[in-house]
Amino acid sequence: MWRALLLAWAISYALSFPVMANDAIAPPSGTSVYTLGARWTDQDGHALRLRDFSGRKVLVAMGYTSCPDICPLILANMAAIEKAAQGRSLRFVFVTLDPKVDTPEKLKAYADAHGLDPASWTLLNGDDKAVRDLAAVLGVRYKANGEGGFDHSAILTLLDEGGEMVMQKPDMQVDPKDFVAHMPR
Amino acid sequence: MANKLLLALMASTMMTTVALAASRDENRAEPVVGEEKAILTDAPNVPPAITRKNATKVVVHLEVKEVEGRLADGVQYTFWTFGGKVPGKFIRVREGDLVEMHLDNHPDNKMPHNIDLHAVNGQGGGAGASLTAPGHSSVFSFKATNPGLYVYHCATAPVAMHVANGMYGLILVEPKEGLPHADKEYYVMQGDFYTKGANGEQGLQPFSMEKAIAEKPDYVVFNGSVGSMVGDKAITGNVGENVRIYFGDGGPNLTSSFHVIGQIFDKVWAEGNMSTPVSNVQTTMVPAGGAAIADFKLTVPATLILVDHSLTRAFNKGALAMMKSVGPEDKLVYSGKTDDLVYQPEGAGVRVADAPAAVAPVAKNKAERIKMGESVYANNCAACHQPTGVGVPDAFPPLAKSDYLKNDKAKIIKTVTGGLSGKLTVNGKAFDGVMPAWDLPDEDIANVLTYVYNNWGNAGGEVTPADVKAHRVAVDRKAAAE
Amino acid sequence: MARRMAIMAASSLLALMPACAEPMAPVPAGAYTPFFKFIPAKGQRATEPRPVGIKAFRLDRFPVTNAQFAAFLEKAPDWRRGAAPRLFVDPNYLRRWRDGAPPKGEDNAPVTNVSWFAAQAFCESLGARLPTTDEWEYALADAGRGQAQVTRASLDWFAKPNGARIGDVGGAPNGYGVSDMIGLVWEWTQDFSATGSGTEQRNTSSKDDAAFCGGGAAGVRDPADYPAFMRYALRASLKASYVQDNLGFRCAGDE
């Protein structure tokens, strides 16, 4: 019994922190979001980890596709930043809070419906723990509302090339210029 | 004609509205020059008046601490505070200032806290931006667009409990032109407290949710404890000085009828509003979560008593403070007692003939004496010494288990019949007040003293009318008249 | 008397086997009304508090102790103070520990100054998880038994001066066999951040943020339950990397 528990711990530990194992990429700092090692699936069904985004800036938000009001506004704000940041290397990542419903196929359809350019937009699905840990790191508070939806905070987070959080906007009053100021050409 | 009047009325209303709106907008637009750290003070002190002619950025650090402290003699309470004391630190800024608030929640604390300043236009008065876990700090800023005296308080749920534990204070947004000069400024804030034990029950008293919800406080106090400003801790002023009191009511529940016994307020800025003070006010009503500024000139020496004029709060629950006015007498303003005469209503003699003669009852034995003494006590003594003889800390000495009563009978009779004033120590506590001379019949004095001797753990014994006659002090009416 | 014996037996057992907790207490399935009412969607009429179903689960009988956490750190050195990534723990993580050991004489006191990530890692190391907020509150509600004492004990704990050493685990169990939910420490829950999920938004339909500010008492099960407000307000004030002198945790498992 004891041994089984130890084994379970060892496995979960290894899964939680693959980054700490031998890896070609330099280990992230103690404050990088890329310290999270979970595996995700994008809208095209490709597996990836967050640190695969390293090397360029990333704008990340969390929401869900059946979200009636807040998420379209989040997307609109991200799109406004995309427009204002023309010419800069920037990745847009939208992570679902509702992974059971928002399958990769659904995320793909959602991206198409909102005209999100696959060259710069990634929509992610992960398991419950991956979603919970990322939300915890980004400070996204969320709660199922009992009717298939979620109450959640609308935080936009800008990550630098190494996954460090350089800027967060906690509400909907987003001025794209504030974000672009953090992105020298 | 009526139409014209209406029109004029509307125009004047509109102008007022326009003027206020303009002032708010002007204050929003006033450029912020430089930066300074706010001077914060504990009650009853107030930070110095602001002499700056420009708006600046004022940085305020408020540290939230949950601390055990004295609520009344022998009664401890765990207060939640803005800055270590109740009420919280007094904050003073100028109209147009940009105020940067830092709310620092001490790591030793158990609770999350936040702050709602009534001087803020914005989500929750700042509460939305300042919910802070122990060991953390929140920052937000606001433009002080509206001059006035404002309450701030914690607004974390359950708000009523955070406030009941002492989480309130005052912020003064001083008008650009400043306030009229005052020689002395004081900070007094009322609050109601709800304890698990009844009033006076000793030891660390936890909060009572039931009493709070029923709005039945055990204590109503000024500046966080019973007797915070009495005796040696009384606030002071000199005859001739203009005194200003910034009075706030933290609540959580009670509205205060703020009054100073023996003093008329020359000016009151009611509800903390800065535009139009009213003159010559006796009692100003200050709502929970509200404030007022009261100015008065000290003209005679006196011990002024600050109270909530809902009087059982003042005399039974603690809402009483003292201000000592020191200086020369002015007999024209106040003479003191000039005469003491026997009063005989007109026609009283005729009625006596019609009605059965009112003969004062006489006690036949000690038991009757005690019984009759009880009503003499209730009518004359209980208001100060309290119905059970416990007295009021720092104001009225106890008669229960009183070491003073161990003095010989003659001295006690002299005390009651001749009065007493000045410093006095009873049961180890110092008092410095006045007891008037009681000009009661020998029978009543004998009965009431016998009643007191035979109650509340005192030594027993009997005082007879003959004892009183032998030792009573004849009131010197001439001396009193001078 | 029998109860006291049981408590003593329980604590000596803990002392002997610090790293291997007693079996968790089984908590049966049941209906439970969350403190915050569900607010109906557009078009629906306002509803009374609506009970939710709680599946049977298991819950640690006591908060995780310093000794148990020390045993975890032996196996998981990456979670030691100084080694754990800053992303997951505040600088005050295990701030009263020295050289990997808890303060002397406090082995059986609840571990505190641990972040949500660290608490989660501990539970996962034992094949367990943190309880959800609903599970934790459901266990405290104890099918309605002894709720007046829960309120009284909470208010007494709030009044207790801070800075005193936290007591050892081993209090009397409630009807489910769970002890010390009140009176020693606050406790992390898996979805602590579900509380206050609306606080940072402006244009949201979110419901419970008002409960943490002046808007207050509307929309809760019992506006006179001050300790419940406190628990939820505490959760709302936390972020996952935060640590606190009086914040610990216990683990849960599926039945």
Subunit partners of chain B (3 or more CB pairs within 8 A): C
Domain count of chain C?
1
| pLDDT averaged over every residue in chain A | 83
Looking at chain A, which residue has its C-alpha nearest residue C21?
Answer: A2
Cβ-defined contact of C242 to B204 (cutoff 8 Å): no
- Residue C223 is part of a domain; what is its CATH number? 3.90.1580
The predicted model gives C132-153 an average pLDDT of 94
B445 touches B468 (CB < 8 A): yes
Q: Cα separations (Å) of A143 from A135, A153, B25, B334, C35?
A: 11, 10, 40, 70, 14
Of B124, B131, B158, the CB nearest to C236: B131
Q: HSE-up of B464 (CA within 13 Å, CB side)? A: 5
Which helix or strand (DSSP H or E) is residue B13 part of? helix B2-29
| pLDDT averaged over every residue in chain B | 89
Task: Identify the weakest region by mean pLDDT among B82-86, B285-289, C165-169.
Answer: C165-169
Of C229, C237, C244, the CB nearest to B131: C237
A163 touches A83 (CB < 8 A): no
Tell me, what's the pLDDT at B359?
64
Per cent of chain B over pLDDT 70 is 90
The predicted model gives A59-79 an average pLDDT of 89
Which helix or strand (DSSP H or E) is residue A146 part of? none
Pairing verdict, β A121-125 and C186-187: unpaired
Which residues of chain C are within 8 Å of residue B159 when distances are taken between CB atoms?
Answer: 213-214, 216
pTM of the model: 0.73
Name the pLDDT band for C165 (thresholds 50, 70, 90).
confident
Of B66, B124, B208, the CB nearest to C162: B66
What sections of chain A are H helices per DSSP? 2-16, 70-84, 104-113, 128-138, 176-180
| A9 alpha-carbon distance from chain centroid | 26
Domain A29-180 coded CATH 3.40.30.10: yes
Min CA distance, C242 vs chain B (Å)? 8
Residue C7 CB partners (closer than 8 Å, separation 6+): C170, C171, C172
Tell me, what's the pLDDT at B7?
52
Which residues of chain A are within 8 Å of residue C199 when distances are taken between CB atoms?
Answer: 141, 153
Which helix or strand (DSSP H or E) is residue C237 part of? helix C226-237
| C107 alpha-carbon distance from chain centroid | 19
Name the pLDDT band for A174 (thresholds 50, 70, 90).
confident
Cβ-defined contact of C199 to B128 (cutoff 8 Å): yes
Tell me how far apart the alpha carbons of residues B401 and B406 are, in angstroms, rounded to a whole number. 10
Of B109, B132, B205, the CB nearest to C162: B109
Cβ-defined contact of B204 to C159 (cutoff 8 Å): yes
Secondary structure letter of residue C220 according to DSSP:
B
**Of A151 and B81, the one with more pLDDT:** B81
Report pLDDT digits (tens) over B108-132: 999 999 999 999 999 899 998 999 9
Of C87, C126, C127, the CB nearest to A35: C87
Tell me, what's the pLDDT at B241?
97
Tell me how far apart the alpha carbons of residues B45 and B329 are, in angstroms, rounded to a whole number. 27
Which residues of chain C are within 8 Å of residue B151 when distances are taken between CB atoms?
Answer: none
Looking at chain C, which residue has its C-alpha nearest residue B65?
Answer: C162
CA angle B95, B100, B106 (to 5 degrees): 130
- Backbone φ and ψ for A135, nearest 5 degrees, come out as -60, -40
Of B108, B132, B158, the CB nearest to C226: B158
Domain boundary assignment for chain A: 29-180
For residue C129, give its domain range.
2-200+207-254
Cβ-defined contact of B161 to C212 (cutoff 8 Å): no
The predicted model gives B144-171 an average pLDDT of 96
DSSP-derived secondary structure for C110-144 = BP-S--HHHHHHHHHHTT-BPPPHHHHHHHHHGGG
Tell me, what's the pLDDT at C208?
40
Nearest to C69 by CA among C121, C129, C28: C121
Subunit partners of chain A (3 or more CB pairs within 8 A): C
Nearest to B417 by CA among B446, B451, B384: B446
Tell me, what's the pLDDT at B327?
94
Cβ-defined contact of B213 to C224 (cutoff 8 Å): yes
Residue B25 CB partners (closer than 8 Å, separation 6+): none
Tell me how far apart the alpha carbons of residues B170 and B90 are, in angstroms, rounded to a whole number. 5
The predicted model gives B424-433 an average pLDDT of 87
Looking at chain C, which residue has its C-alpha nearest residue A133?
Answer: C117
Min CA distance, C82 vs chain A (Å)? 10
Task: Identify the weakest region by mean pLDDT among A95-99, A103-107, B99-103, C40-44.
Answer: C40-44
Q: List the domains of chain B with CATH numbers.
A: 33-326 (2.60.40.420), 364-481 (1.10.760.10)
Cβ-defined contact of B131 to C92 (cutoff 8 Å): no
Residue that has been written with the tokens 């509003």 in this structure: B273
Looking at chain C, which residue has its C-alpha nearest residue B118?
Answer: C214
Tell me, what's the pLDDT at B23?
84
Tell me how far apart the alpha carbons of residues B259 and A129 are, in angstroms, rounded to a whole number. 62
CA angle B355, B359, B363 (to 5 degrees): 155
Min CA distance, C149 vs chain B (Å)? 13
Tell me how far apart the alpha carbons of residues C194 and A152 are, in angstroms, rounded to a whole number. 8
Tell me how far apart the alpha carbons of residues B94 and B82 are, in angstroms, rounded to a whole number. 21
Judged against a pLDDT cut of 70, whether residue B298 lies above it is answered with: yes
The predicted model gives B392-416 an average pLDDT of 89
Report pLDDT digits (tens) over C18-67: 444 578 999 999 988 888 765 544 444 445 556 788 999 999 999 999 99
Judged against a pLDDT cut of 50, whether residue C155 lies above it is answered with: yes
Nearest to B319 by CA among B218, B438, B440: B218
**Of B463 and C39, the one with more pLDDT:** B463
Which residues of chain A are within 8 Å of residue C188 when distances are taken between CB atoms?
Answer: none
**What's the token pair of residue C82?**
């100084």
Secondary structure letter of residue B310 according to DSSP:
S
Which helix or strand (DSSP H or E) is residue B91 part of? strand B91-94
Which helix or strand (DSSP H or E) is residue B348 part of? helix B348-354
Using the Cβ of C52 and the Cβ atoms of chain A, whether some distance falls under 8 Å is answered with yes
Report pLDDT digits (tens) over B267-285: 999 999 888 899 999 999 9
